[in-house]
Amino acid sequence: MTLDPQSIRKDFPALAAEAIFFDSPGGTQVPNRVVERISRYLTTTNANHGGAFVTSRASDEVVAEARRAMADFLNAPSPAEIVFGPNMTTLTLSLSRALARTLNPGDEIVVTHLDHDANIAPWLLVAEDRGCTVHWLDFDVEDCTLRMDQLETMLSKRTRLVAVGYASNAVGTINPVAQIVERAHQAGALVYVDAVQYAPHGPIDVQALDCDFLVVSAYKFFGPHVGALYGKREHLERLRAYKVRPAPEEPPEKFETGTQNFEGIAGVLGALEYLAELGRRSGGEHAERYAADFEGRRLRLKQAMAAIRSYEMDLSGALLDALEAVPGLRVYGLTERSKLDRRVPTVSFRMEGWHPRQLAEALAEAGIYVWDGNYYALAVTERLGVEASGGMVRVGLAHYNTREEVRRLGEVLQALARRRPG
Ligand SMILES: Cc1ncc(COP(=O)(O)O)c(C=O)c1O
Q: How much distance in Å is there from the Cα of 367 to the middle of ligand 1?
A: 25
Residue 62: phi and psi, rounded to 5, are -60, -45
* CA of residue 20 to ligand 1 center, whole Å: 22
- Average pLDDT (258-278) is 97
| Rounded-to-integer distance, Cα 98 and Cα 210, Å | 21
Cβ contacts of residue 263 below 8 Å, gap of 6+? 38, 41, 42, 46, 224
Mutate to test the pocket of ligand 1, among 169, 225, 375 (most ligand atoms within 8 A of CB): 169
Distance in angstroms (rounded) separating the CA atoms of residues 5 and 275: 14
Q: What is the best residue among 196, 221, 344 to mutate for testing ligand 1's pocket, by most ligand atoms within 8 Å of CB?
A: 196
Taking the centre of ligand 1 as the mean of its atom positions, its distance from the CA of residue 169, in whole angstroms, is 8
Distance, CA of 149 to CA of 180 (rounded, Å): 11
Where is average pLDDT lowest: 280-294, 301-315, 318-332, 380-394?
Answer: 280-294
* Complete edge-to-edge strand list for the sheet that includes strand 108-112: 82-85, 227-231, 213-217, 190-194, 159-165, 108-112, 133-137
Residue 114 has pLDDT above 90, yes or no: yes
Q: Are 185 and 210 in contact (CB under 8 A)?
A: yes
d(CA 198, ligand 1 centre) in Å: 11
Ligand 1 atom with least separation from CA of 167:
1
Residues 10-32, mean pLDDT to the nearest whole number: 97
Strand pairing class (159-165; 190-194): parallel
Average pLDDT, the chain: 96
Q: Select from 173, 146, 166, 220 the least CA-distant residue to 331.
A: 173
> CA angle at residue 169 from 168 to 170, to 5 degrees?
90
Residue nearest to atom 14 of ligand 1 (CA): 26
pLDDT digits (tens, 9 = 90+) for 230-256: 999 999 999 999 999 999 999 999 999
pLDDT, tens only, 338-367? 999 999 999 999 999 999 999 999 999 999
State the distance from the centre of ligand 1 to the C-alpha of 121, rounded, in angstroms.
12
Coil vs helix vs strand at 230:
strand
Other beta carbons within 10 angstroms of residue 168's beta carbon come to: 31
* % of the chain residues with pLDDT over 90: 95
With a Cβ cut-off of 6 Å, ligand 1 is lined by 87-89, 116, 118-119, 165, 169, 194, 196-197, 217, 227
Q: Is 302's pLDDT higher than 80?
A: yes
How far apart CA 387 and CA 294 sit, in angstroms, is 44
Domain boundaries defined on the chain: 5-31+303-418, 33-272
What pTM, to 2 d.p., does this model score? Answer: 0.98
184 CB burial (10 A radius; 0-12, 13-18, 19+): buried
What is the pLDDT confidence band of residue 285, given thresholds at 50, 70 and 90? low
Report the separation in Å between the CA atom of 168 and the middle of ligand 1, taken as the mean of its atom positions: 10
Q: Which fold has domain 33-272?
A: Aspartate Aminotransferase; domain 2 (3.40.640)
Give the pLDDT of residue 291: 85
Take atom 7 of ligand 1 and give the residue whose Cα is closest: 88
Q: Which CATH number fits domain 5-31+303-418: 3.40.50.300, 3.60.150.10, 3.90.1150.10, 3.40.50.720?
A: 3.90.1150.10
Closest atom of ligand 1 to 86 CA is 10
Q: Ligand 1 atom closest to Cα of 225?
A: 10
Beta pairing, strands 213-217 & 190-194 = parallel
Give start and end residues of each alpha helix (H) in 188-261: 206-209, 233-238
DSSP state of 318: H
Looking from the CA of 98 toward its CB, the CA atoms found within 13 Å total 20
Residue 286 has pLDDT above 90, yes or no: no
In whole angstroms, give the CA distance from residue 355 to residue 271.
36
Compute the distance from residue 351 Cα to the ligand 1 centre, in Å. 26
Please say whether the dihedral angle defined by the alpha carbons of residues 339, 341, 343 and 349, taken in this order, is positive or negative.
positive
What pLDDT does residue 293 have? 87
Q: How far is the CA of 328 from the centre of ligand 1 (A)?
A: 30
Q: Identify the band that residue 178 occupies on the pLDDT scale cut at 50, 70 and 90.
A: very high
- Whether 421 shows a pLDDT value over 50: the answer reads yes
For residue 358, CA distances in Å to 66, 327, 355, 369, 420 come to: 41, 17, 5, 13, 10
